[in-house]
Structure formats: C-alpha cells, structure tokens
Structure 1
C-alpha cells in the first residue's frame, strides 16, 4: 500500500530509480484495480505519462509490470513495442497482447535479434513460424524446426529438406518432427546416404563395392519403411511423387515385398494400375495367381517380372517377412532356385537386374539370419563337433593378401 501523494512524489522525483518504482507500482495497481472508475482512469493516465519518461529504466519498469498480462492496455504496449531495443524485444517475446499482424510487421521491419525474440514466444501460429523461417537465417531456421509444438506446412518442410538437408543439425531437427511428410524424409535419407559415402571413416572401413551395396540397401529399406508409414496413414502423395519423378523401379517393388512392407507395395501397384488400394490389397491377400498376373499387367509390369512378383506375393502369404529375417532368407532362396529351375540356369536379360537384386539380398539376409545361431546352439548342446581327419598331402595354397 502506498499513499497517492507519495506516489506522485516518486513519479516526479529526479531519481530515475524512484520514478521506475512508481511506474512499476502504477502498472501493478492498474492491472489489479477493482475500485472507482475515476481512480482507474487516473492510473491509466499515469501509465501513459511514464511512456514519455527520458529514462529507459523507467520505461522498462513500466513494461516489466505489464509484460505478461492479457489485461495490459494495448495502446501502451504498442508504444513500448516501438521503444528501445531492450524493451521492444521483451514485448515481442512475452506480451500476450500482440496478435499475428503485430508480429508480421515486426518481423518484416526487424533484424535478427527481433526475429529471435518472436521465435521465443511461448505460442506461435504456423503463419508466423513460416515467416520467420523464410528469413533464412541459419540459427533461426534450426530454432523453429526444433519447435515441434508448432505445425508447419508439408510443402515448407519438403523445401527445407531439399535446401538445408545437407546440414546435419537441420537433418536431425527435421527428422525429429512428427509432422515431417514422407517426401521430406526420403530427401533426408538421400542426404544421409551422400554424407556417409563421403565420410572418410566410413569409406576407409569398407571396400567401395560393399559400401555401395550397404548404402543402396539401407536407402531402399528406408524408402520402403517411409512408404509403409505413409500408406498406413492413407496418404498417396509419397507414392505419387515416386511415380511422377520416375523413382519407382523394379528394385523398390521387390524390396517392399522382401521387407514385408506390403501396404507400400499395394499403394505402388494401385498407383501404377489405377485400381483402388483396397482392391489391390484384397487381391494381394487372397487373389488367385491369374488375378495377380492380370493386376501386374494392368500396372504395366512386364510378364516376366510380373511372374516373379506374383510368386513372391504367394510366398509372402505364408511367411512373416516384416519381422522374421530367417523367413525372408528362406523366401528369397526359394525364389532364386525357382528362377534357376524355370530358365534352366539361363536368366533372361529382362530379369538380370531382378536376379542380381535377389542374389544380393540372399547374401545379406543369410548373414543376418546366421548371427548368433552357433552361439545359441553351443550353449544348448553337449555334443562334440565331429571333424574328419585332415589330409596334409595337399598343402593349402592361397594367393598373397
């Protein structure tokens, strides 16, 4: 409590600290006022008078008193917004009085410090966040991407993945966003693949051919997994982008089936054939061989490749390809043996790429399926390993390493 006469004395003091104290008291009294109207009007007039105080400390004390209140007078807050930088930045960061139009104006006219103040507000609309990102200031873009509480437009996220995806921190921030669309994830996978290929530690640890195989297989798996997630959410844009950009090829279709991403495969076939996804999924789940073959032809897939895909679908019906690596290995092995038997070991030219992919997958899956098997077997058996006697008459000869 303070007498109004004492308040007037403080307001007229030559000491800026005393005037600042008075300004802060006036702000608190105005916001908490529950008395006569003339008293409220007098407090409002005193707040306006403090706007003209020559000391920034006094005006800052006034701003501090009003800063977080939704009942603060808008004209006063707008005047403080045009005050010295230390005051205006605080108003931009904390005042709930400001609306999007006020923030738009400040962003367009302000500098990096102003942008950061707006970016640190507790709540921001997607429109304001987009305008901040469009300033294209690296630190600001990263800060906004880390604000997962703000929803951003899918097209903006795709554009950021394409333009800023080479930066590791930006990639991490984008990948952490729950609203990141599939096309943006695919771009980031490609950026990560490029970064790994150029990393000396990775390139020096693996032979070039094996590194390329690992990266290609990892990219295919990531693409297929992204497509599966998009298909689960019933989004067509991802597959449409693949088809429109000619990125959907034989390898991807095979990989989708081999890895158990059936919903993604169904979406791809639906997009290629013009059939509904529901109809395609029904055929994949229980359609006859002839019905599946007709579907592949409708999707403009060659007869030879269509036969391979149909056979793979039939195998997939009785095996858990999504989670069982051993089942994947068994199916791919069976398919390779069927192809060799069908063509008597002479694989047609149009299936050479398909056969090479299956052979490559067979090796990778065999390695995965074999990991830990002997260790588990050794821990559960008491039988000795029976090894035939060695024949030392023929010395082992190996080329120099």
Structure 2
C-alpha cells in the first residue's frame, strides 16, 4: 500500500514516470474503492487533476488504468477520447464506457487509423458497423465483413454484394458469412462465374464451348444448392425471386432433381402451382403419375415437359441422386434413351432444352461415375492385379585393366 504522503510526492514529482505511477495508482484505487463516499470523491478529483498533466505518459497511464473497466467515469473517458492519438486509439478500441452515440458522431471525421480502432472493439452493434462501412474504405469494410460476430443487415449485405462483388477479397468475405441473403449469394456466384470465364489460365485450360458448359452446370448446381438451403429454412422468397427474374426454367428444374435437391424442386413446384409445400412434397414422394401430372399442369408446364419431369421423379424415387454419381448417370441415360425411342430421334422443339441438358449431363456424369468405379476397382483388385517386376539381369564385372 502507498501512504498518502508518498502518493502526494509521486503526483508532484518532476519525473513524468513517477507522476504516471501516481495516475495509474489513482485509477486502480478509484475502481476498487469500497470505503466512504468522500474518499471516492477525492479519488475522482485526483483523476480529474491528472487530465491536465502536460506529459502524454501521465495521461496514458491514467487511461490504461481505466481502459477496460465499465465503471470508469464517463467524463474522464470522453476527455481521454479527445487526447493524443495514441491514447484516443486505445480508448476507442477498448473502453466499454463508450456507447454508439459517442462513436457514431465521430466516425464521419476520424481518420482511417481511428476507424480501425473502432472496428476492433470487442462488441460492435449493427448500427455502428453500418456507420463504419458508410465511410467506404475498402480494408475497413473487409475487416468488418470478416468479423462474423458482427451482425450486418440483409439490405447492407445485398448492397455490398452489388457494389463490391467484382472484388475477389470482398466476394470471399461476403460468401463466408452465414447471414448473407440467398439472392445476394446467387449474385456473387454469378460474378465468380464471370470472373472465371475471363481468367486467362481458365480460358487456356478448356475450349470455349466446354468452358461454357462447365460454368453453366456449376452455376445451376449453385443455384439449386442455395435453393435447397433456403427450403430447409422454409423461406419461399428465393424461389419467388427466381420466378420474377425469369431464372426458373426446365433446365433448372431438372438439375434440381438430378443433383438431389428435392426440397428446392418441391418449393419451385409449390410456388408455380400456388399449392401448399407439404402437399407438393407428399405428391413427389408417393403420388401417382396422374396426380403428378395434375400438379405440373397447375405449374403451367407443357405436355412434353410434364411427361419428362414425371418420369424423372419416378426414377428419382428409386435412386440416391444426392450422393451417387452412378445413379445419376443411370437416370440421365435412361431418360435420354426413352426420349429418343419415344420420338424416334425427332425431338420436339418443346423438349430441345431438356434434351440438350440430358446430353450434357450424360457426358459429365459418365466421367464422374467412371472415376468412382475405377478407383473402387483398383482398391479391390490391387493384390491380384499387381504387376510382377522381373529382377534386373546381373551385370558382368569386367576385369581390371
């Protein structure tokens, strides 16, 4: 314990180090005081006195003594907030005494280093985060996006996806957030697709037509995968937006079934038919052909597309399309052969898009299924098919010259 006379001696010393020790001790004594009120008031007066010390070291010692406490006096912390940069940055980053109203008013005038200190606070409200992002500083916005403990509004995230979606780092930070809206996620996937299409190494690795097919197939998979996740949340807005923007077509519906995203497929049919989702899912699971056809009629689909989707659903009931590439290849091959046999090779115009999709998937899925089969076969047949290596013939030793 420091005696009162010793404290007075430290606080009046010509050495800034000693005055700083007195300031720090005063801060700790104030925060831990449990005695009479007049003693607490005297300590408060001592803290006020150290605010006028000409040495930055002394004021910094005072600030660091009070910095992490929610019991620190607000007037003193606000005074330190407007002190030198090194003290101000520490107060901005660590002091729990400051509230949003204290910080938001300063954000418009602070420099980037000060804003960075605010962005590193332990807790940041959505309102404060939005005010920081409104400064339109790229690294600062990226720092906040990477903090998943900071809640950001759906509208703000969508706006960032629209305005900063062309930046790879921003795309990655946005896509990593679980609170990103489905429409914004789909927009970013489209931007990723366009970025890949324009990347020199990608363009050089694949022919233009094949690259287009690969990117289109990946885009459809992403669209249906996002829809499957939204279907799990019982959120119909994603499908409604797809219908309004004319993104929902025969190809997307077929791809949803082929990739095993049946909940998304059910949501699509429910939204198109304006029918209860539970009823649609029950029909897809065990409804008859006539019942399925009636549902697809309500969706506004043509006769040929209805027939094709009904067959696809029937095949999907007996196969694990979500995880088995071989099952997907079988179903796609069976549908392709049925279409060719039914129309004797003359595919109607109504089914041209669907037939083109099946032809593309036949190639893609054949490759995937073959890789799986060959890998499994190699593991099982490793011992019997091991190639025996003949021992090398002994070399003749030449006599020394």
User: Offset at 1:178?
Assistant: 2.1
Q: Residues of 1 paired with 2:89 and 2:40: CA distance?
A: 28
Structure 2: how far apart are the matches of 1:10 and 1:281? 79
Aligned twin of 2:316: 316
CA distance in 2, matches of 1:140, 1:277: 43
More deviation, 279-288/149-158 = 149-158
Which position in structure 2 is the counterpart of 1:131?
131
Q: Gapped runs of 5+ residues in structure 2?
A: 386-401
- 1:233-284 Cα offsets, whole Å, 9 max, x none, are 1112211221121111221111101111000011111111111211111111
State the Cα distance separating 1:101 from its structure 2 match. Answer: 1.3
Q: Secondary structure at the match of 1:124?
A: coil
Partner of 2:146: 146
Match in the other structure for 1:286 = 286
Mapping of 1:2-401 within 5 angstroms? 2-374=2-374, 376-377=376-377, 379-380=380-381
CA distance in 2, matches of 1:262, 1:38: 72
Shift of 1:166: 1.6
Deviation at 1:213, TM superposition (A): 0.7
Q: How many aligned residue pairs are there?
A: 383
In 1: Cα distance, 2:247 partner to 2:163 partner: 20
Deviations 1:208-254 (A, max 9, x none): 11111111111111111111111111112211221121111221111
SS at match of 1:109: coil
Paired with 2:376 and 2:29, the residues of 1 have a C-alpha distance of: 76
Q: Distance in 1 between matches of 2:251 and 2:134?
A: 38
Q: Distance in 2 between matches of 1:294 and 1:109?
A: 64
Unaligned runs of 5+ in 1: 384-401
CA RMSD in angstroms comes to 1.6
Give the C-alpha shift of residue 367 in structure 1.
1.1
Pair 1:322–1:5, CA change in 2 (3 A): same
For the 8 Å contact 1:106–1:114, the answer to whether it is kept is no
* Counterpart Cα distance in 2 of 1:307 and 1:318: 18
Write the distance in 1 (CA, Å) between the matches of 2:269 and 2:301. Answer: 9
TM-score by length of 1: 0.92
| In structure 2, distance between residues paired with 1:375 and 1:230 | 34
Query: Compared with structure 1, are the counterparts of its residues 301 and 18 closer, same or farther at alpha carbon in structure 2 (3 Å cutoff)?
Result: same
**1:109 to 1:377, Cα distance in 2 relative to 1, 3 A:** closer
